[in-house]
Each structure stands twice: as C-alpha cells, then as structure tokens.
C-alpha cells in the first residue's frame, strides 16, 4: 500500500470491521490533522459511499509525472477565515451522483481524519459544498473502519469550545 502507514490500511467496501466499534452521532466535529484543520463540522451520511469536503480553486499540477491537486478549504461555515490551501496526490477521479440525482466528476484524495478521537485514512471527494449545511460529509467507506452511527445522537466526539463554534457562523 505504498507510503500509507499500516494503521490506515483498509480496503474500501470490505466487510472487515474494527474489533471495537466506535459510536458516532449523525453530526460530528472532526479534524483534518495534515491540513491542519483542528475543527470542521461534518455530517455523518450513511447514504453517501465516499466522504466529501468543500473545496474550491481546484487546480491539478504535475509532480514528477504524477497528478496532484491544489485546493483551498474554508473550515468555517459562514466565513473565509482560517482558509487552508493544500496540495495532495490525486488518488482517483470518480463520477459521483448527488442525493438530488445530479452527476458530477470529482477528484478523490486520501486524507487522515480524526473522528470521535480515532484517526483513520479516508478517500475524500473534493466538491463545492458552499450551499450545504456542512462543509464535510463522512461516508460509508470511512464509517466501515469501525464506526456505528447513532442517528439520535450528535457530537459524541465532543464539541469545540464555544468561541470556536461561534467562529463557524462568523461570530467569533
């Protein structure tokens, strides 16, 4: 599996489950450790196969004959504050059908995410989620790495301090 650390090895779509499943709510605050983004609000979406992240200014670049993508993310919902620009290898390109039936070609990257205190490697599609209620969706492939969803619960991994939550809505 190349340069991917052993702790992240997982075959998307496999029936392998983590020996001790971790419960998550229908929405969680997650971290993107390599971004570095310590807080981003995510919807846990069992209807989505692949996770997705709000990204813009996508540009593919060549690095030693390999495709990489440069993109920018806004971790906060209502403000461009703390924007982060990343450059990652293109893992794949996929045609994704949204819940409204619209099909879109997307770039897929692999990124570690910290969800409810566990760090996993996830395939993440990059798309414009500006009009959506959450900057990120956590899909089934990521959840299959040992997570159980409690649809009646929220923020089982905890919430950031109040001042951080206020920044999410441009009031910080």
What are the tens digits of pLDDT across the range 22-38? 999 999 999 999 888 99
Sorted by where each begins, the domain ranges of the chain are: 22-168
pLDDT at residue 164 in the model: 79
Answer yes or no: CATH 3.40.720.10 is held by domain 22-168. Answer: no
* pLDDT interval class at 19 (50, 70, 90): low
What is the CB-side half-sphere exposure of residue 161 using CA atoms within 13 A?
4
* pLDDT interval class at 68 (50, 70, 90): very high
CB 44 within 8 A of CB 55: no
pLDDT at residue 8 in the model: 41
Q: Is the dihedral of CA 144, 145, 148, 153 positive or negative?
A: negative
In 3D, which of 128, 138, 134 has the Cα closest to residue 168?
134
Strand pairing report for 51-54 and 136-138: antiparallel
- pTM across the whole model: 0.81
């Amino acid at each position: 599996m190349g340069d991917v650390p052993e702790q992240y090895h997982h075959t998307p779509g496999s029936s392998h489950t983590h020996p001790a499943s971790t419960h998550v709510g229908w929405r969680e605050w997650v971290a993107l450790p390599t971004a570095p983004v310590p807080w981003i609000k995510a919807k846990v979406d069992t209807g989505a196969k692949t996770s997705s992240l709000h990204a813009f200014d996508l540009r593919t670049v060549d690095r030693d004959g390999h495709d990489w993508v440069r993109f920018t993310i806004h971790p906060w919902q209502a403000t461009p504050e703390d924007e982060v620009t990343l450059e990652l290898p293109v893992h794949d390109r996929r045609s994704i059908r949204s819940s409204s039936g619209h099909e879109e070609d997307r770039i897929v990257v692999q990124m570690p995410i910290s969800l409810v205190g566990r760090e996993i490697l996830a395939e993440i599609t990059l798309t414009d989620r500006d009009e959506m209620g959450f900057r990120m969706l956590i899909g089934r492939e990521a959840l299959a790495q040992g997570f159980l969803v409690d649809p009646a619960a929220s923020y089982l991994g905890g919430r950031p301090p109040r001042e951080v939550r206020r920044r999410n809505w441009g009031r910080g």
